[in-house]
Amino acid sequence: MPHRPYVIDRMISAKRIAARVEALAHEITDAFQGTDKLVVVGLLRGSFVFIADLVREIDLPVEVDFIEASSYGDELTTSREVRILKDLRSGIEGRDVLVVEDIVDTGFTLNHVLNMLKARKPKRIEVCALLDKPSRREVPIKATWTGFDIPDEFVVGYGIDFAQRNRNLPHIGKVRFTE
């Protein structure tokens, strides 16, 4: 199906993202100081750019693993049904875990993934989300660390897509339909 034409208005520059990622990584490094290994779990696919930048600023032994949960289709809506399409490769029992998410919107995705991971008895589990849309929340959940709070806008770039497009944009912008 052809797309309605849209433009992307810049919201957060690559420079601001980089500075914030560095600050988050320092806080995470301090919080997990002394860990034998931090398992950094990225939620595919939207977190892949963020996790790549974040782990390079974390000064701890890390392992990187991924989970893929489906929430959005190719629509601007959230479905409440969260399905796990790809699970972790390694067990996390007794481990220090950091879940890395691109956006916390209604909270359904993060809530589902966290409940699933907590059932595996990690020693400690925290969440770092790049973006948060607090006004959209339906499940009361909050990331331990958040990069930026944003208004209720549909955003793309820095790994985040609109129907699989615009993930390669170096900054974060909001989608504005022109028709």
The contact set with Mg ion (CB under 5 A) reads 46
Sign of the dihedral through C-alpha 97, 158, 84, 106: positive
Closer to Mg ion by Cβ: residue 60 or 132: 132
Instruction: Return the residues of window 87-146 that contact ligand IMP according to CB under 6 A.
Output: 101-110
φ, ψ for residue 147, nearest 5 deg: -70, -60
Q: Of the candidates 67, 71, 157, 169, which one interacts with ligand IMP according to CB under 6 A?
A: 71
Query: CA of 15: how far to CAs of 79, 145, 155, 158, in Å?
Result: 33, 19, 17, 12
Binding site partner of 6, from ligand IMP, Mg ion, none, Cβ cut-off 5-8 A by kind: none
Contact in structure between 120 and 61 (CB atoms under 8 Å): no
**For residue 72, which of 80, 62, 60 has the smallest C-alpha distance?**
80
CB of 167 to ligand IMP, least distance (A): 10
Closer to Mg ion by Cβ: residue 92 or 109: 109
159 near ligand IMP, rule: CB under 6 A: no
CA–CA distance, 102 with 143 (Å, rounded to integer):
11
- Tally DSSP H helices, then E strands, for the chain: 3, 9
Strand partners, 175: 8
Q: Which one of the spans 83-91, 116-124, 152-160, 163-171 is the region binding ligand IMP (CB under 6 A)?
A: 152-160
CA–CA distance, 155 with 173 (Å, rounded to integer):
5
Q: Of the candidates 31, 48, 63, 72, which one interacts with ligand IMP according to CB under 6 A?
A: 72
66 near ligand IMP, rule: CB under 6 A: no
Instruction: Return the residues of window 23-42 that contact ligand IMP according to CB under 6 A.
Output: none
CB of 116 to ligand IMP, least distance (A): 14
The residues that touch ligand IMP, with contacts defined as CB under 6 A, are 46, 71-72, 78, 101-110, 154-155, 160
